[in-house]
């Protein structure tokens, strides 16, 4: 696998041509502790995991001051294992999950509400039409702060379709932020992964989640 530092620099420079301040989340789910440490030493300060077991494994060893993002679907029964170990949750999409976070969290958690903009059945998340009412209903949960919205691009190589999905999330995020809800400032958009992060940045992403294009995949490297 390539050294992370020059790749991180290249991606940062690409994003800076679009807009300053876009946060890169290194998705480390397909690499181990050593490779994750290399990412930290390269200057990366936002790390993403999608499985409670992978998060726990890395937290046992990694002591550096970084922000941990849980980016996968979080089962209600796993909330107790995850919620007090992370800084951001990117997959809030149902009231049962919100209730369990409220029950288990010892401090306020920054959450992205997951929106299924494309409407694909294979993807989790609320429909755009459900999202505003759902976020309004979260005002009773003081352990949850809705900092933004998250989506995943449609499963297509059509750039126009991908761009429209990201554009739709950004418009919805702006619509919610204009309500000035204390519990839901909703100023951020988490969208874009290895194959489409530049399109996401162009359409208003403030966080991009990059795995294989940044840190690689140890399983692929062994093949």
- Domains in the chain, ordered, with CATH? 4-221 (3.20.20.10)
Q: What is the pLDDT of residues 203-221, one digit of tens each?
A: 999 999 999 999 999 876 5
pTM of the model: 0.96
- Quick one: pLDDT band at residue 120, thresholds 50, 70, 90? confident
Q: Is 185 helix (H, G, I), strand (E, B) or coil?
A: coil
Residue 35 clears pLDDT 90, i.e. is over it: yes
Q: Which residue, 92, 94, 102, is CA-closest to 71?
A: 92
**119 is written with which tokens?**
């409407």
Question: Rounded distance, CA 137 to CA 212, Å?
Answer: 36
Mean pLDDT of 61-67: 95
- Find residue 88's DSSP bridge partners: 69, 110
Q: What is the pLDDT of residues 155-178, one digit of tens each?
A: 899 999 999 999 999 999 999 999
Number of helical (H) and strand (E) elements in the chain, helices listed first: 9, 8
- Find residue 148's DSSP bridge partners: 112, 188
């Amino acid at each position: 696998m390539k050294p992370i530092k020059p790749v991180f620099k290249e991606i940062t420079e690409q994003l800076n041509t679009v807009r300053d301040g876009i946060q890169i989340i290194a998705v480390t789910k397909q690499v181990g502790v050593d490779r994750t440490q290399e990412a930290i030493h390269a200057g990366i300060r936002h790390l993403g995991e999608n499985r409670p077991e992978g998060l726990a494994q890395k937290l046992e060893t990694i002591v550096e001051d970084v922000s941990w993002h849980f980016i996968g679907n979080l089962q209600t029964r796993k909330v107790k294992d995850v919620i007090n170990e992370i800084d951001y949750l990117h997959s809030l999409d149902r009231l049962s999950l919100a209730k369990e976070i409220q029950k288990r969290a010892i401090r306020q958690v920054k959450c992205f509400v997951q929106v299924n903009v494309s409407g694909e059945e294979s993807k989790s998340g609320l429909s755009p039409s459900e999202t505003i009412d759902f976020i309004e209903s979260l005002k009773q949960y003081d352990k949850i702060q809705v900092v933004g919205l998250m989506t995943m691009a449609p499963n297509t190589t059509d750039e126009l379709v991908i761009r429209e999905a990201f554009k739709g999330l950004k418009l919805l995020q702006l619509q919610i932020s204009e309500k000035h809800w204390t519990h839901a400032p909703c100023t951020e958009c988490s969208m874009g992964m290895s194959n489409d992060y530049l399109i996401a940045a162009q359409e208003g992403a403030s966080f991009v989640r990059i795995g294989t294009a940044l840190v690689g995949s140890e399983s692929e490297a062994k093949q």
